[in-house]
């Protein structure tokens, strides 16, 4: 067997990658390279027996240590990286590692930790592993958030006005007659023709059925934080969405200003009318 194959057997038996590097007289970076190239993590998972029991906290910590065993960071920094990926909040991640730290101190220390080159490298590495394990390309994930940000209710609803038959009783003859009445209408499109993955809610309540799209602003916020994962075409789309959102916000603000000016003028006019009547 070749050296990397022997090393994989040791890895399957629970040996740390630092220990493997020492055993075979090589560097930790070489062992990392073997792990990525020959997909040790995936092969180890395939060979492991299925266990349907719920993981305890101790087991979760052990799994976390295995995930980041290739890193040269200490355990606290490793856990910080994992919690950061889980919560997308560096302050919360720091407080999970050091739960007794006051909030203001946690803000300062979390900022320092998150700027350390080794921490940045580890977070990026873990992100890449997560994407690979999920068999997703980062561009696919970016595209899904773009779909959410571009989501249009017209893709899910048909609305407008239509004529419907109405039965009334003729006051003279006493017989029922069918007339036409124009009403407002809203209809859902068939689910087979809609992308349900970007809907956050569809429900039937006392006031009728309703549909809710996933949060557009949260999607934009995510995209802003992960622009490095987007292709050039996707970046152009994201910039377009941001521009459209800014325009809507500015238009709303201008409309509010115009409304306020109109109301002030109306109030002033009314005041003058009252003064004229008093004279």
What mean pLDDT do residues 172-179 have?
Answer: 87
Of 41, 39, 21, residue with least CA distance to 29: 21
Q: Is residue 51's pLDDT more than 50?
A: no
Task: Give the 3-state secondary structure of residue 179.
Answer: strand
User: Which segments of the chain does DSSP mark as H helices, in order?
Assistant: 3-12, 17-23, 28-37, 40-47, 57-67, 75-87, 90-97, 103-114, 117-133, 138-150, 216-225, 232-278
* Residues pairing with 181 in the sheet: 164
Output the pLDDT for position 24: 82
Q: Is residue 257's pLDDT more than 80?
A: no
Is the model's pTM score more than 0.75? no
Q: Is residue 263's pLDDT more than 80?
A: no
Q: Is residue 191's pLDDT more than 60?
A: yes
Tens digit of each residue's pLDDT (9 = 90 or more) over 101-149: 888 899 999 999 999 998 998 888 888 777 655 545 666 777 778 888 8
Q: Is residue 2's pLDDT more than 90?
A: no
Output the pLDDT for position 64: 53
Could you tell me the residue ranges of all domains in the chain? 3-135, 150-258
Average per-residue pLDDT for the chain: 75
Tens digit of each residue's pLDDT (9 = 90 or more) over 90-104: 998 999 899 888 888
Among 9-13, 72-76, 164-168, 236-240, top mean pLDDT goes to 164-168
Output the pLDDT for position 12: 80
């Amino acid at each position: 067997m070749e050296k990397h194959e022997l090393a994989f057997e040791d890895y399957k038996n629970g040996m740390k990658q630092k220990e493997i590097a020492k055993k075979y007289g090589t560097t930790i970076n070489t062992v990392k390279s073997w792990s990525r190239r020959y997909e040790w993590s995936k092969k180890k998972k395939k060979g492991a027996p299925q266990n349907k029991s719920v993981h305890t906290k101790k087991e979760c910590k052990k799994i976390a240590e295995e995930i980041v065993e290739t890193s040269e960071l200490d355990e606290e920094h490793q856990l910080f990286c994992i919690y950061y990926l889980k919560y997308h909040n560096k302050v919360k991640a720091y407080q999970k590692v050091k739960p007794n730290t006051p909030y203001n101190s946690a803000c300062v220390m979390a900022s320092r930790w998150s700027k350390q080159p080794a921490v940045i490298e580890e977070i990026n590495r873990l992100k890449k592993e997560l994407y690979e394990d999920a068999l997703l390309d980062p561009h696919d994930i970016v595209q899904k958030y773009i779909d959410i940000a571009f989501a249009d209710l017209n893709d899910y609803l048909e609305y407008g006005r239509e004529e419907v038959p109405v039965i009334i009783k003729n006051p003279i003859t006493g017989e029922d007659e069918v007339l036409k009445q124009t009403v407002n209408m809203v209809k859902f499109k068939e689910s087979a023709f809609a992308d349900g993955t970007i809907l956050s809610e569809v429900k039937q309540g006392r006031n009728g059925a309703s549909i809710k799209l996933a949060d557009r602003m949260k999607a934009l916020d995510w995209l802003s934080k992960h622009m490095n994962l987007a292709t050039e075409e996707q970046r152009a789309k994201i910039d377009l969405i941001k521009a459209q959102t800014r325009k809507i916000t500015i238009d709303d603000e201008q409309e509010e200003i115009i409304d306020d000016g109109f109301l002030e003028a109306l109030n002033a006019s009314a005041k003058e009318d009252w003064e004229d009547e008093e004279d």
